[in-house]
Amino acid sequence: MPVTLNKRGGLLLVQGLDVSKPAEYIGEQSSPNVKNYTINRALLSKRVGTSLRGSTIGGTDLRIMRGRQFNRAGTFYNVRVGQDHIEHYSSGTWNDITGTTLTGAATDLVDTAVPLLSGSRILCITNGVDNIRKWNASGNTSNLGGSPPVAKFIQEYETYLVCANIGGGTDITQRVQWSDTADPETWTGGNSGSVDLVEDGDDITGLNLFSSFLCVHKQNAIYLGALVSTSKIFRFDRRQTVGTAANASIVNISRGLQAFVALDGIRLFDGSISNRIPATANDEIRDSINKDAATKSWGVLVDDKTEVWFGIPIGASTIPDTVYKYNYETGAVYKDERADLNACWLAKTSSSVSWDAGSGSWDSWEGSWNSSQDVSGAIEIHFGDTYGLTTVSDVDSLTDNGTTIDAIYETKDFKSDDLGQILRFQEVWLWAKGSGNLCVEYSVDEGQTWTECSGSPIALDSSFPSESDPMRVYMDDTGVSCRLRFRHNESGSCQIKQFFIGYVKREYM
Residues 434-483: tens digit of each pLDDT = 999 999 999 999 999 999 999 999 999 999 999 999 999 999 999 999 99
| Residue 459 falls inside a structural domain | yes
Number of domains in the chain: 1
Q: Does the predicted model carry a pTM greater than 0.85?
A: yes
Q: Tell me how long the chain is.
A: 509
Q: Is the dihedral of CA 85, 151, 379, 489 positive or negative?
A: positive
Q: What residue type is 35 in one-letter code? A: K
Instruction: Select from 74, 78, 207 the least CA-distant residue to 135.
Output: 78
| Residue 128 falls inside a structural domain | no
CATH number, position 426: 2.60.120
DSSP per-residue letters across 318-333: SS--EEEEEETTT--E
- Indicate the pLDDT class of residue 23, thresholds 50, 70 and 90: confident
Q: Is 373 helix (H, G, I), strand (E, B) or coil?
A: helix
| Residue 288 falls inside a structural domain | no
Whether residue 69 contacts residue 382, with contact meaning beta carbons closer than 8 Å, is answered with no
| Residue 37 falls inside a structural domain | yes
The predicted-structure confidence for 343-369, as pLDDT tens digits, reads as follows 999 998 754 444 444 444 444 444 444
| Residue 390 falls inside a structural domain | no
Q: Which residues contact 226 (CB under 8 A, 6 or more apart)?
A: 212, 213, 214, 234, 235
Q: Say what the pLDDT of residue 403 is.
A: 95
- Indicate the pLDDT class of residue 419, thresholds 50, 70 and 90: low
Measure the N-to-C terminal CA separation of the chain; round to a whole number of Å: 27
The overall average pLDDT reported for the chain is 90
Q: Say what the pLDDT of residue 420 is.
A: 67
CA 471 vs CA 1, 16, 184, 434: distances in Å: 24, 24, 64, 13
The predicted-structure confidence for 55-72, as pLDDT tens digits, reads as follows 999 999 999 999 999 999
Q: How many CB atoms lie within 10 A of CB 263?
A: 15
| Residue 42 falls inside a structural domain | yes
Query: In terms of DSSP H, where are the helices of 204-346?
Result: 282-288
The predicted-structure confidence for 314-344, as pLDDT tens digits, reads as follows 999 999 999 999 999 888 899 999 999 999 9
- Percent of the chain whose pLDDT exceeds 70: 91
| Residue 358 falls inside a structural domain | no
The predicted-structure confidence for 89-126, as pLDDT tens digits, reads as follows 999 999 999 999 999 999 999 999 999 999 999 999 99
| Residue 282 falls inside a structural domain | no
Domain that holds residue 444: 6-47+406-508
Whether residue 102 contacts residue 85, with contact meaning beta carbons closer than 8 Å, is answered with yes
Q: What is the H or E stretch that residue 232 is in?
A: none
Question: Of 277-281, 402-406, 478-482, which range is least confident?
Answer: 277-281
Q: Which residues contact 286 (CB under 8 A, 6 or more apart)?
A: 263, 264, 265, 276
Cis ω for the linkage preceding 470 (within 30 of 0) = no
